[in-house]
Amino acid sequence: MIKRQTTVNRIFRLSGIGLHSGHQVNLEFLPSRDSGIVFVFNGVQIPARYDHVADTRLSTQIAKESGSVSTIEHLMAAFYFAGITNCLVYIDGPEVPILDGSAWEFYQGIWKAGAYEFQQEHGIYLKVLRPVEVRSGDSWVRLKPHNTLDIAMTIEFRQPVGLQRRRVSDVENAFSILNSRTFTMLEEIEAIKKAGLAKGGSLENAVVIGEDEVINPKGLRYRKELVNHKILDLIGDLYTSGYRILGKVEAHKTGHYLNNLLLKELFSDPANYRIY
């Protein structure tokens, strides 16, 4: 378990294409103390926190004043897995680059930069004390008391995906989650592009599900890559709590909207949790 507050050990940079904008985006990661994870766009500092989430359609977007940054969830998951609690992320566009569609390249960049530990040991973990649940239609996600982060996820799409389940009881070491890519159904792409989105999408950064099979020439990286990726999104969204959550998560067809709503419900009553 992470024992102290941490930041990146040195400045480093990453670049890539924005999934929806199609534009080149450059990131610069700077060590920081007592800040949490903060994005800096056009001079505006935007905390990567659940209470700054402004939009959850297709990705998680945070905003403050005149600035906003979208598609932060994969990078937030990489910070979680790397054990980084504080960092300033300077970005020259309104969208975090998609890279390969997973969190792996972000994690590699952070890992190469290394972590610097502070002496401060408080304010790292949030322990769930009472069950919390949110629903929307037939989708739901609940959080129960537990001594580690334990996630059970169910997704359901048309065939050939169908119903998929996975439980991860040792999340901090579940590195197959890090390397699982975002996905979409072939028939959804045209509508998304008509809306002016997914300009940077390709088979290099997303899994595309055709009528009968996965269209990507190399197929899936893992048999359960799709449910893995939904767990990755959930981890990234949960880390916008500002803490490493200790609790059992049970989720059915959840997405960014419900993930954010869960945190709002959690923080609505201080009796639901304890920070240490």
Q: For the segment 257-266, what is each residue's pLDDT rounded down to a tens digit?
A: 999 999 999 9
Q: Is the pLDDT of residue 119 over 90?
A: no
Q: What is the pLDDT of residue 172?
A: 85
Could you tell me the pLDDT band of residue 196, with boundaries at 50, 70 and 90? confident
- Burial class of 269 by CB neighbour count within 10 A (0 to 12, 13 to 18, 19+): exposed
**Selection from 110-124, 187-201, 243-257 with the highest mean pLDDT:** 243-257
Mean pLDDT of 91-118: 97
Q: Is the pLDDT of residue 246 over 90?
A: yes
219-232 tens-digit pLDDT? 999 999 999 999 99
Q: Is the pLDDT of residue 204 over 90?
A: yes
Tally of CA atoms within 13 A in the half-sphere of 253 that contains its CB: 11
74-89 tens-digit pLDDT? 999 999 999 999 999 9
Q: Is the pLDDT of residue 2 over 90?
A: no
Average pLDDT over the chain reads: 96
Helix (H, G, I), strand (E, B) or coil at 200: coil
Q: What is the DSSP letter of 5?
A: -
Q: Is the pLDDT of residue 185 over 90?
A: yes
CA–CA distance, 19 with 14 (Å, rounded to integer): 15
Active-site entry in 20, 74, 229, 256: 256
Positive/negative CA dihedral, 257, 264, 133, 123: positive
pTM beyond cutoff 0.85: yes
Domain map (residue ranges) of the chain: 6-117, 125-275
Q: What is the pLDDT of residue 3?
A: 84
Homologous superfamily of 125-275: lpxc deacetylase, domain 2 (3.30.1700.10)
Q: Is the pLDDT of residue 175 over 90?
A: no
For the domain spanning 6-117, the CATH number is 3.30.230.20
Q: What is the pLDDT of residue 191?
A: 84
Q: What is the pLDDT of residue 197?
A: 79
Q: Is the pLDDT of residue 66 over 90?
A: no
Is residue 74 part of the annotated active site? The answer reads: no
Kindly state the percentage of the chain with pLDDT values over 70. 100
Q: What is the DSSP letter of 180?
A: P
- Main-chain phi, psi angles of 172, to 5 degrees: -60, -20
Could you tell me the pLDDT band of residue 178, with boundaries at 50, 70 and 90? very high
